[in-house]
């Protein structure tokens, strides 16, 4: 029994190490002066400390602008997909219209197609309507791309809300829409907040569309902004600053995780196990 | 048990209500998912004057780079997903035990998953740098290699690099999904087996794994299709290179369309990729119901 505990804790240490060792090296590098971080072979423990990388990243890179753009785009898309996705989820789970199962499977399968195979027609369309370098060129496709997950998670949750409540509301003379937003939606708040977090993270992390539709420096989102820094410096790759920037923009995500880990896990598993 | 609706379907305004509720989603999906797919199908079958032509398919299907990309995509997805499911399953079994700090560890597990792939890839690019990155030197110092390897400039090692980075990001995610499946297994089944004197491995083989099959299949399908469309990781970490050694289908389409400006070839490749994905979905769908029947009690 004691041996089993021992092996268990060895396993636990390995797992923690697995998740954290790259992050350790990155944090280490971000606090090192250039002279140390460019030494070869590298020094894998702290020897010198500086915050100049963190100061430099704000000076050399439009980090604040990138964060602003990502926030605007992700929040708008999340709000929109919650609005329209909850309505569809209601129709599927409570009105249970004929063909709702094929409808759900259709959403699921189309959700599997990667953005790369639809990107050119979208690019052409946005170019035609002069929407490139406009927030809408990301908000609209992000909303659409978030539909499958949102509708699936919400429909699964709404399904568990007793239909009797909905029927009582209808018998009392509420319209379907009133029953939706006065009865079902308030009861579904836990699932709504879960899926909102997942959608927000997905939009925040999106890369290929943001890379293509936002070509002006001041319209870039955070993922593209950070990963494109390297190309702007002719002689030296400013690794310290790039990594400081990468870590800084990770902080909000880690905070979200710490606050909402139960919700995130339940949302991920609801989507996967029920699917 | 699906509850029966007391409100009759033929009630006045039934279809009008349904249409009202699902129209916004349908409009968004039509414009931003279905239209681009159909437009690409149309583009792939036309020539520059808009007439019907199979030229793009001829060009794509006879090019070596397309088949190489297909092969890279399939091998990347197969290898990385197998590794991730295997390690993920072991991690899930460990996480399913009682120990101090379990909740904290589950939180840590979410960090790689939540990191944007493009940013994670930027970090890995540093970790794998030949002269000052830690990983090549750690391999050298532990005598696993005779010199610090050039990860990003050797074709084989570049391929291994994207698998390593992908595994780092997704193993914890797979573990959490599989853990949810493990926790859904009723505890008394284990107790019953223990009463009968079954050992740990016997329980795993005869109880845990059979009951986990549905969760495993679903996780596998999600992960495989996600890996199949890989773009961010490759674009940032290796840019498809060195040469074309890591040029999976998504970055290949992107390169054809936006670097070579050959949108029709890009469209034909897109259609081929859509066909691959549909084939995978069909295979998984049918085997899933087969597996479901086999393990249904």
Tens-digit pLDDT profile for residues A75-89 = 999 999 999 999 999
Least confident segment among A46-55, A139-148, B161-170 = A46-55
Name the B residues in 33-72 with CB < 8 Å from any A CB: 33-37, 39-40, 43
Sign of CA dihedral A267, A273, B3, B4: positive
Q: Where in chain B is the domain with CATH 1.10.3720.10?
A: 55-295
For residue A71, the model assigns a pLDDT of 93
For residue B33, the model assigns a pLDDT of 93
**The pLDDT of residue A274 is above 70:** no
CATH number of B55-295, picked from 1.10.3720.10, 1.10.3470.10, 3.40.50.10800, 3.30.70.20 = 1.10.3720.10
Contacts A8 to B, Cβ<8 Å: 94, 97, 99
Say yes or no: A113 contacts chain B, CB-CB below 8 A.
Answer: yes
What is the DSSP code (8-state) at residue B3?
P
For residue B297, the model assigns a pLDDT of 38
For residue A34, the model assigns a pLDDT of 76
Tens-digit pLDDT profile for residues A127-161 = 999 999 999 999 999 999 999 999 998 998 888 88
Task: Assign A232 a pLDDT band (cuts: 50, 70, 90).
Answer: low
- pTM of the predicted protein model: 0.90
Average pLDDT, chain B: 86
Task: State whether A180 and B258 contact (CB < 8 Å).
Answer: no
For residue A272, the model assigns a pLDDT of 52
- Most confident range, picked from A211-215, A232-236, B213-217: A211-215
Sign of CA dihedral B121, A123, B259, A233: negative
Say yes or no: A127 contacts chain B, CB-CB below 8 A.
Answer: no
**The pLDDT of residue A275 is above 70:** no
Task: Assign B220 a pLDDT band (cuts: 50, 70, 90).
Answer: confident
Tens-digit pLDDT profile for residues A151-206 = 998 998 888 888 888 888 888 888 888 888 888 888 988 889 989 998 999 999 99
Mean pLDDT of A220-230: 85
Task: Assign A53 a pLDDT band (cuts: 50, 70, 90).
Answer: confident
Instruction: Report DSSP letters for B6-23, one per residue.
Output: SS-TTSTTHHHHHHHHHH
Say yes or no: A110 contacts chain B, CB-CB below 8 A.
Answer: yes
Contacts A90 to B, Cβ<8 Å: 21
- Closest C-alpha among B242, B273, B65 to residue B160: B242
**The pLDDT of residue B9 is above 60:** no
Quote the tokens at residue B68.
């190489």
For residue B10, the model assigns a pLDDT of 54
Least confident segment among A61-65, A267-271, B194-198 = A267-271
Task: State whether B118 and A9 contact (CB < 8 Å).
Answer: no
Contacts A268 to B, Cβ<8 Å: 173, 176-177, 180
Q: Identify from A107, A116, A165 which residue to disrupt to test chain B contact, counting B C-beta atoms within 10 A and taking the largest count.
A: A116
**The pLDDT of residue A52 is above 80:** yes
Superfamily of domain A61-274: MetI-like (1.10.3720.10)
**The pLDDT of residue A233 is above 70:** no
Q: For residue A62, what are the CA distances in angstroms to A146, A255, B6?
A: 28, 22, 58
Q: For residue B245, what are the CA distances in angstroms to A80, A167, B60, B161, B209?
A: 40, 60, 18, 11, 36
**The pLDDT of residue B2 is above 50:** no
For residue A89, the model assigns a pLDDT of 92
Half-sphere exposure of A165 (CA within 13 A, CB side): 17
Task: Assign A125 a pLDDT band (cuts: 50, 70, 90).
Answer: very high
**The pLDDT of residue B152 is above 70:** yes
**The pLDDT of residue B4 is above 60:** no
Quote the tokens at residue A251.
């902080």
What is the DSSP code (8-state) at residue A116?
G
Name the A residues in 5-24 with CB < 8 Å from any B CB: 8-9, 11-12, 15-16, 18-20, 22-23
Mean pLDDT of B231-249: 89
Percent of chain B with pLDDT over 90: 37
Say yes or no: B243 contacts chain A, CB-CB below 8 A.
Answer: no
Task: State whether B116 and A205 contact (CB < 8 Å).
Answer: yes
For residue B248, the model assigns a pLDDT of 93
Percent of chain A with pLDDT over 70: 95
For residue A141, the model assigns a pLDDT of 96
CB B105 within 8 A of CB A15: yes
Task: State whether B184 and A201 contact (CB < 8 Å).
Answer: no
Domain boundaries, chain A: 61-274
ipTM for the predicted complex comes to 0.87
Residue of A nearest to B42 (CA): A121
Sign of CA dihedral B152, B157, B158, B164: negative
Mean pLDDT of B111-127: 89
- CA dist B107 and B116 (Å) reads 17
Candidates B22, B33, B258; nearest CB to A118: B33
Task: State whether A151 and B99 contact (CB < 8 Å).
Answer: no
CB crowding A179-203: b at 16 or more within 10 Å, else e: bbeebbbebbeebbebbbbbbbbbb
For residue B81, the model assigns a pLDDT of 94
Mean pLDDT of B171-196: 84
Task: State whether B116 and A212 contact (CB < 8 Å).
Answer: no
For residue A144, the model assigns a pLDDT of 95
Say yes or no: B139 contacts chain A, CB-CB below 8 A.
Answer: no
Tens-digit pLDDT profile for residues B246-275 = 999 999 999 999 999 989 999 999 999 999
For residue B133, the model assigns a pLDDT of 83
């Amino acid at each position: 029994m004691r041996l089993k505990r021992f092996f268990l804790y060895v396993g636990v240490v390995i797992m923690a190490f697995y998740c954290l060792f790259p992050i350790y090296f990155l944090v280490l590098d971000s606090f090192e002066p250039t002279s140390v971080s460019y030494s070869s072979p590298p020094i894998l423990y702290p020897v010198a400390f500086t915050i100049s990388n963190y100061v430099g990243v704000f000076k050399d890179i439009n980090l604040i602008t990138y964060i602003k753009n990502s926030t605007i785009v992700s929040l708008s898309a999340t709000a929109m997909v919650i609005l329209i996705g909850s309505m569809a989820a209601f129709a599927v789970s409570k009105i249970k219209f004929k063909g709702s199962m094929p409808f759900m499977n259709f959403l699921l399968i189309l959700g599997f197609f990667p953005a790369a195979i639809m990107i050119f027609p979208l690019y052409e369309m946005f170019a035609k309507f002069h929407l490139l370098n406009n927030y809408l060129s990301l908000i609209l496709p992000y909303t659409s791309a978030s539909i499958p997950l949102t509708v699936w998670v919400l429909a699964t949750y709404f399904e568990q809300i007793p239909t009797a409540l909905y029927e009582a509301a209808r018998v009392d003379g509420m319209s379907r829409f009133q029953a939706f937003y006065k009865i079902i939606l308030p009861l579904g708040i836990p699932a709504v907040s879960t899926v909102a977090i997942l959608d927000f993270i997905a939009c925040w992390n999106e890369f290929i569309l943001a890379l293509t539709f936002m070509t002006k420096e001041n319209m870039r989102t955070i993922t593209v902004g950070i990963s494109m820094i390297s190309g702007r410096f002719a002689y030296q790759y400013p690794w310290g600053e790039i990594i400081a920037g990468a870590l800084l923009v990770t902080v909000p995500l880690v905070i979200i995780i710490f606050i909402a880990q139960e919700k995130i896990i339940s949302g991920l598993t609801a989507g996967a196990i029920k699917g | 048990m699906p509850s029966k609706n007391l409100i009759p379907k033929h009630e006045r305004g039934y279809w009008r209500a349904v249409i009202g509720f699902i129209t916004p989603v349908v409009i968004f999906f039509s414009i931003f998912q279905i239209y681009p797919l159909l437009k690409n199908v149309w583009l792939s079958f036309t020539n520059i004057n808009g007439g019907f032509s199979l030229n793009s398919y001829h060009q794509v299907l006879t090019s070596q780079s397309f088949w190489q990309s297909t092969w890279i995509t399939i091998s990347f997805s197969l290898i990385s997903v197998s590794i991730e499911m295997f390690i993920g399953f072991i991690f899930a079994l460990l996480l399913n035990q009682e120990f101090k700090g379990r909740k904290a560890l589950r939180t840590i597990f979410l960090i790689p998953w939540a990191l944007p792939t493009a940013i994670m890839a930027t970090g890995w690019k540093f970790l794998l740098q030949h002269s000052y990155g830690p990983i090549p030197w750690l391999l050298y110092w532990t005598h696993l290699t005779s010199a610090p390897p050039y990860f990003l400039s050797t074709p084989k090692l570049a391929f291994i690099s994207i698998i390593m980075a992908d595994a780092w990001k997704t193993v914890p995610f797979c573990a959490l999904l599989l853990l949810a499946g493990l926790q859904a297994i009723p505890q008394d089944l284990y107790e019953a087996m223990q009463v009968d004197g079954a050992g740990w491995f016997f329980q795993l083989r005869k109880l845990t794994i059979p009951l986990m099959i549905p969760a495993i299949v679903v996780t596998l399908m999600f992960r495989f299709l996600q890996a199949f469309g890989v773009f961010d990781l490759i674009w940032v970490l290796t840019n498809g290179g060195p040469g074309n050694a890591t040029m999976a289908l998504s970055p290949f389409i992107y390169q054809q369309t936006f670097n070579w400006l050959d949108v029709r070839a890009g469209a034909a490749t897109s259609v081929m990729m859509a066909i691959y994905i549909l084939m995978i979905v069909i295979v998984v769908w049918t085997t899933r119901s087969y597996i479901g029947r086999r393990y249904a009690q």
